[in-house]
Amino acid sequence: MKQFLEIKSVTAGYDGHVAISNISIKLELGKFHVIMGPNGGGKTTLIRAIAGLISYDGKIIVENVDIKKYRKKNSIGYLAQRGAQFYDFPLSALEVVEMGRYRFKETNHAKKEKSFEFLKEVRMASHAGVPIANLSGGQQQRVLIARALATESKLMLMDEPLTGMDPRTQSEFYEMLEHLKREHSLTVIISSHDVGFTTAYAENVFCINKCLVPHSEAVKLLEEPEITKLYGPNICLTKHYHTSSEEEDESEGEDA
């Protein structure tokens, strides 16, 4: 598989505090990669460094080009951690998706048509005219994915997108994300601290607790030594049993 992104000796932090130190990772094209680690372990810092939102020491290279040059010609899809960012936000779901088309020279009509198609892909077309502030958290995440898809980026970054979702909604979200990854040939990087659930969907997991926790290359299942390094010795794992949504109809998916 072709290498897509390389992180070389990246160190970053805030106000003189080092959040991640000397991180080096190689990521393959078209795969679902997961950054695993505890709160405060540096997952968000690394995601934000790749997205170009914070400065860092070291290098990040995409398709053999420094990411700073790459971003001048290419968009990067990015979903920040969920919060109160849409409280009283005065845009509809469709208008939010249209924001992802800012790089493209096209008529307003073409922008709306393409944005509506991306809403269809995340099963939110029927909510196009609804203010995003009036949508549920799961619905808002779908709209934000549509906005990221609208950038036509090859790289999708998601910072703990499942916060606050119940297990069934999480399952539906991952199934949708896997479908979009295949349809759009995306390379997905998602951060999470849910050890049991995320690894069932990931093709590669790498573990961070300020520095990279060594583990087998392209690992999918975390073993006790890695979990202890990440979360401490007093952690017990519980096996998850999640309902698949493959047989759910589209209208139920929209309400997730």
User: Counting beta carbons within 10 angstroms of the beta carbon of residue 112, is it exposed (0 to 12), middle (13 to 18) or buried (19 or more)?
Assistant: middle
What does the alpha-carbon distance between residue 72 and residue 81 come to, in Å, rounded to a whole number?
Answer: 24
**Predicted pLDDT of residue 119:** 97
The alpha carbon of 240 is separated from its chain's Cα centroid by a whole number of angstroms, namely 22
- Going by pLDDT thresholds of 50, 70 and 90, the confidence category of residue 242 is very low
- pLDDT, one tens digit per residue, over 34-49 is 898 888 889 999 999 9
pTM: 0.79
Query: Greater confidence, 216 or 225?
Result: 225
**Predicted pLDDT of residue 147:** 94
Distances from the Cα of 218 to the Cαs of 9, 27, 70, 221, 225, in angstroms?
19, 9, 25, 9, 16
Q: Which residues of 1-25 are buried (b: 16+ CB within 10 A; e: fewer)?
A: eeebbbbeebbbbeeeeebbbebeb
**Predicted pLDDT of residue 256:** 42
Domains delineated in the chain: 3-76+154-254 (3.40.50.300), 82-152 (no CATH)
The residue type at 78: Y
**Predicted pLDDT of residue 1:** 65
Is the pLDDT at 235 greater than 50, yes or no? no
- Going by pLDDT thresholds of 50, 70 and 90, the confidence category of residue 122 is very high
How many Cβ atoms sit within 10 Å of the Cβ of residue 254?
16
